[in-house]
């Protein structure tokens, strides 16, 4: 639902149709600056998806009352959690505004080793309050509905422990390209401080499942890297949800079909008459091999020939033997957007070399 309001204001509590909402003194003063009068419409946002619209029914120098006649709840955006560096205050505040505009799900500053030498740096309760104020202003300006959840600054180990399971990414110029890999929700993006991560920090992140990803050849400032990373992730997630079927029907541009044709190089592990196996560029286990049919089949939903499907599974077991996975392994087919499928070509993941947790996610 779109509301035609001249201005929007933040409220701490969700409001319903019929409610009368008293605005704060600064908001009443802002209304006076905008020269809004009785009967004019204004919008309300609560930062947790609630949006409302109503009419100004009372105005004073230090008070204003809105009678709500429209309200709706907006679904949250794609879940992207941002681990930002504790860094220069002004640059962190700028990034906070952009994070709110891009509907980042959460904001957690991390005290990286090189953050300790920054002065003046953005940390502490007072600074956190400033971050929230900047985010609220950006939310109102962009007419968004969700405010990022703001966490206190944390050490690397505490930030890792609190990070959601899912696609964990650390932005690093030496990593593989971010765009083009499989990406599923939720996404956690770790951004380093000026001067970059220490080697020990990258190792700790890698041990916790963070994949090093590059978003270009240039060494970016932390606020630029964060915005670029979030933008790429949003684009990839949106494409996964809206374009999975069209990708499934496009064998000419299908990345896996191009690997079969030899147009794109891949680390081939094994082949058979109807299938080919190659190493995943974004491994989730010590052994992570993709097994695909040479024929273009979108997914399990596309009723693949049982003989072809059987050959894919047979090649998967061959891969498990040749990779030394005698202690056990997992074969996974992701199907459709909600199943985590991001490439529209049927493929089996063969994962092993470590203990597999259950449930998988």
Which residues are part of the catalytic machinery?
Answer: 347
Cα 337 to Cα 343: distance, rounded to the nearest angstrom: 10
DSSP string, 60-123: -SS-EEEEEEEEEEPPP---EEEEEEP-BHHHHHHHHHHHHHTT-SEEEEE--GGGTT-SSB--
55: left (phi over 0), alpha (psi -120 to 50) or beta: beta
Cα 145 to Cα 43: distance, rounded to the nearest angstrom: 11
* 230: helix, strand or coil: helix
Cβ burial of 67 (10 Å; 0-12, 13-18, 19+) is middle
The count of C-alpha atoms lying within 13 angstroms of the C-alpha of 309, restricted to the half-sphere facing its C-beta, is 13
Closest CA to 194 of 82, 116, 130: 116
Cβ burial of 298 (10 Å; 0-12, 13-18, 19+) is buried
Rounded to 10°, the helix 89-101/125-142 angle is: 40
Specify the residue for token string 């605005």: 23
Cα 116 to Cα 93: distance, rounded to the nearest angstrom: 18
Cα 330 to Cα 163: distance, rounded to the nearest angstrom: 25
Cα–Cα distances in angstroms (integers) from residue 145 to residues 49, 139, 354, in the given order: 5, 7, 41
Cα 152 to Cα 123: distance, rounded to the nearest angstrom: 8
Report the DSSP pairing between strands 8-10 and 80-85. Answer: unpaired
Give the Cα-Cα-Cα angle 199, 162, 158 (nearest 5 degrees).
Answer: 50
């Amino acid at each position: 639902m779109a509301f035609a309001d001249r201005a929007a204001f933040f409220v701490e509590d969700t409001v319903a149709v019929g409610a009368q909402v008293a605005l704060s003194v600064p908001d009443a003063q802002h209304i006076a600056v905008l020269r809004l009068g009785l009967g004019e419409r204004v919008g309300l946002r609560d930062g947790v998806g609630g949006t409302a619209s109503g009419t100004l029914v009372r105005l004073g120098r230090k008070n204003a009352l809105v009678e709500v006649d429209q309200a709706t709840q907006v679904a949250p955006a794609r879940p992207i959690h941002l681990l930002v560096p504790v860094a220069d205050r002004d640059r962190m505040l700028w990034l906070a505004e952009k994070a709110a505009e891009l509907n980042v799900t959460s904001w957690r500053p991390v005290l990286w080793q090189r953050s300790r030498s920054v002065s003046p740096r953005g940390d502490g309760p007072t600074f956190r309050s400033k971050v929230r104020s900047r985010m609220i202003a950006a939310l109102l300006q962009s007419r968004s509905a969700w405010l990022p959840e703001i966490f206190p600054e944390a050490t690397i180990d505490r930030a890792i422990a609190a990070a959601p399971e899912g696609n964990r990414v650390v932005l690093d110029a030496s990593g593989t390209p971010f765009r083009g890999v499989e990406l599923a929700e939720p996404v956690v993006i770790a951004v380093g401080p000026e001067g970059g991560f220490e080697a020990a920090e990258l190792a700790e992140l890698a041990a916790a499942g963070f994949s090093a990803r590059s978003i270009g050849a240039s060494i970016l400032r932390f606020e630029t890297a964060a915005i670029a990373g979030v933008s790429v992730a949003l684009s990839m997630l949106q494409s996964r949800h809206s374009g999975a079927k069209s990708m499934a029907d496009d064998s000419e541009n299908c990345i896996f079909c191009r690997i079969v044709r030899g147009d794109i190089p891949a680390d081939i592990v094994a082949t058979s008459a109807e299938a080919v196996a190659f190493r995943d560029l974004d491994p989730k286990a010590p052994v992570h091999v993709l097994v695909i049919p040479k024929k273009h089949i979108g997914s399990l939903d596309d009723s693949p020939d049982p003989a072809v499907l059987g050959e894919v599974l047979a090649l998967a077991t061959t891969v498990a033997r040749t990779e030394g996975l005698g202690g056990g392994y997992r074969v996974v087919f992701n199907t459709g957007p909600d199943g985590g499928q991001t490439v529209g070509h049927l493929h089996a993941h063969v994962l092993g070399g470590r203990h597999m947790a259950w449930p998988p996610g």
